[in-house]
Chain A
Amino acid sequence: MANPAPITYATSALFDRRPLHFDPSLRRNRFNLLFTTIAGVFAAIAVLPLVLVLVHVLVQGGRLISFGMLSQLPPPPGLDGGGIGNAILGTILVTLIASLIAIPVGVGGGVYLSEYSSRGWFAQFVGFGNDVLAGVPSIIAGVFVYGVVVTTRIFFDQSYSAMAGGIALAVLMLPTVIKTTDEGLKLVPQELRWGAYGVGASKFVTVTRITLPSAFTPIATGVVLAIARAAGETAPLIFTALFSPFWPEGVFSPIATMSVLIFNFAIMPYEVQNALAWAASFVLVMMILGANLLARWISRMAKV
């Protein structure tokens, strides 16, 4: 029997190899390059404002920072010197009031949504309301607190106060805290809860000793970000906490905050005041960027 004809690969010469080579002059490749370039330029434009703002705040504000700047009162218009000490203290105080209100309420609300509600109409309604509240413009929160707290003078007959400002900021923080708590608790494996019930823990013990601690990281991250955002808010404070050129006189009096100081002093025609606005921006941006990095650090620690 004759051997079968040896296989030749001559037919492969018919196969056109050219399309397998990358040819940049093809229309589709030029189209690709064009759009990749456009996307790259857009990304550069998107990053540009952060770089410009940061550089300017760090340079313009950073060179003004001194011990006196951080510890003195702002000067009367027209005079030199002074600092933003009262505003730094005020921002810390008002943000603290807001946190003391918003964190317990928000974490509690989040616990209800995640652990107790059976995802019925009430939970859906609260979830929807939370999204709506998150979209309410911050100035409206100011108007609300002005109407409920400032004009009614419910706190010892005081109108504008640090307390009112703190409540307004708490209204803005609340949706974020509820949402992060709810979502953080949903990530906790169901087996952990079953295990706790299995050894006889009550629901209260399960939630407070097992579920909440294991969701600590996402909740803490969200809370830190919410605090950072609240510290920079201005609109709800303009007509609730108002402003004060003096040191804080307790939580039921008007109080200076860095954000309102920046707003008031930026539009004044005095260079001293403008410089104080830049210095306050420096301190505020440092605090907020620090909080953001802290939030990142918390969430990274947990992954390890």
Chain B
Amino acid sequence: MPTDPNPALNADAFTLRRRPPAEKVVDLGFRQLTLLLASTVAIVLLGIFLTVFQGAREAIATFGLNFLTTSNWDPVNEQYGAFIAIYGTLVSSLLALLIAVPLGVGTAIFITEDLIPTALRDAIGLMVELLAAIPSVVLGLWAIFVMEPAIRPALNLLHSLLGWSPFFNTVPQGPGMAPAILILVVMVLPIITAISRDALNQVPIELRQGAYGVGTTRWGAIFSVILPAAISAITGGVMLALGRAMGETMAVTMIIGNALNFDLSLLAPGNTIASMLANQFGEADGIQVSALMYAALILMVLTFSVNVAAQWIVRRLSLRY
């Protein structure tokens, strides 16, 4: 019978240590606790939807889908239609993106493609990031007292040149759709720049080397190789920015004019769902609260679909290298 060369080791050292019950309880308890904490996300999300839906039910039953297409907002006769706000939300955010996307992507290219020294690139990147940190309400204050008076001459010029078209046929008088769009540009620019910058940085170096190797110029490489490789992430970022622009409240509320009458002109005051909520929710009662909740529900559905589309685009359109 073979004898163990070192019997002392066999005796205790290799006996399994039983885990004390207290340790097991702590382990299991901690796991369940983190599970519970992780579930709060789902609970809060569900809670938000149910609260808004529950609040909106009365208005949905009363106004139905006419709410989306009528534009009278009349607390005295209790007639509500959110067309102005929905139109304003869509138009302001889409036009803001139209301006912000070239600016943001251009800036991102400028600070990723080795056009200027690294220190300068980092400085511009830092400044755009800090712009994202400025609170919306401060931008709104700045828009009221500094930006709007400063751009009024330009808007007046726009009115005198293009006043024949229904989009510019009102005289700019302070708050309006156009300043709101500009302040939205300022707000979404950092998002688009940051996401485009990350997307461009993630394009594999081999793609650039290949493009330069076959003799293309810098902008030839950017337009036909680098941008197409990064386009899915950039599009996703643009969609996220669209969602942010539609839900943006404070700066827009302070400068858009909160109109109750529909006007096609971009120089006239307008309204958005978010600014309507910010302005009226505190003082509303009865069915007006419900109508506002209905508008909030529409805003939620809009931002939700845009955000889901953004995630879907990033996942589906991403190139496999």
Contact = CB atoms under 8 A, between A and B. Distances in A.
Interface of A: 28-29, 31-32, 35-36, 38-40, 42-43, 45-47, 49-54, 56-57, 104-106, 108-109, 111-113, 115-117, 125-126, 128-133, 135-144, 146-148, 171, 174-175, 178, 200, 202-204, 207-208, 228-229, 231-235, 238-239, 242, 259, 262-263, 266-267, 274, 277-278, 281, 284-285, 288-289, 292
The 7 closest A-B pairs by CB, nearest first: A137-B247, A232-B135, A42-B106, A108-B37, A112-B34, A135-B307, A235-B249
| Interface of B, helix, strand, loop or mixed by DSSP | helix
Contacts of A47: 124, 127-128, 131
Contact of B296 (A32, A105, A143): A143
A250 to B, nearest CB: 21
Interface stretch (B63-71, B203-211, B259-267, B297-305): B297-305
Contact of A109 (B26, B37, B102, B300): B37
B181 interface: no
Interface stretch (B6-14, B79-87, B156-164, B215-223): B215-223
B134 A143 contact: no
Interface in B91-134: 102-104, 106-107, 109-111, 115-116, 124, 127-131, 133-134
Interface in B122-179: 124, 127-131, 133-142, 144-146
B291 interface: no
Contacts of A109: 34, 37-38, 40-41
B106 A36 contact: no
B121 to A, nearest CB: 9
Contacts of B111: 43
A104 B127 contact: no
B44 to A, nearest CB: 6
Contacts of B37: 104-106, 108-109, 111-112
B40 A105 contact: yes
15 contacts: A38-B106, A40-B110, A43-B107, A46-B189, A50-B130, A135-B306, A137-B247, A137-B300, A143-B281, A144-B48, A203-B30, A203-B31, A204-B30, A242-B282, A259-B137
A45 B54 CA distance: 44
A8 to B, nearest CB: 30
Interface of B: 17, 19, 23, 26-27, 30-31, 33-42, 44-45, 47-48, 51-52, 54-55, 102-104, 106-107, 109-111, 115-116, 124, 127-131, 133-142, 144-146, 186, 189, 193, 217-220, 222, 240, 243-244, 246-250, 253-254, 274, 277-278, 281-282, 292-293, 296, 299-300, 303-304, 306-308, 311
Given A131-B307, A132-B307, A238-B278, A266 B254 contact: yes
B52 A125 contact: no
A117 to B, nearest CB: 8
A47 B123 CA distance: 10
B311 to A, nearest CB: 6
With most chain B CB atoms within 10 A of its CB, the pick from A132, A229, A292 is A132
Contact of A130 (B35, B41, B246): B41
B51 A147 contact: yes
Nearest to B300: A140
| Interface of A, helix, strand, loop or mixed by DSSP | helix
Contacts of A232: 133-138
Contact of A40 (B115, B141, B306): B115
Nearest to B136: A234
Given A133-B44, A139-B247, A56 B220 contact: no
Contacts of A53: 131, 134, 138-139, 142
Contacts of B219: 31-32, 35-36
A126 B103 CA distance: 34
Contacts of B299: 137, 139-140
B145 A137 contact: no
A31 B304 CA distance: 41
A178 B37 CA distance: 10
Nearest to A146: B281
B308 A132 contact: yes
Given A108-B37, A263-B140, A266-B144, 9 more contacts: A40-B116, A45-B103, A49-B186, A111-B37, A135-B247, A144-B52, A171-B48, A229-B133, A277-B141
Contacts of B116: 40
Contact of A281 (B115, B138, B189, B193): B138
A304 to B, nearest CB: 17
Nearest to A208: B30
A267 B145 CA distance: 10
A195 B178 CA distance: 60
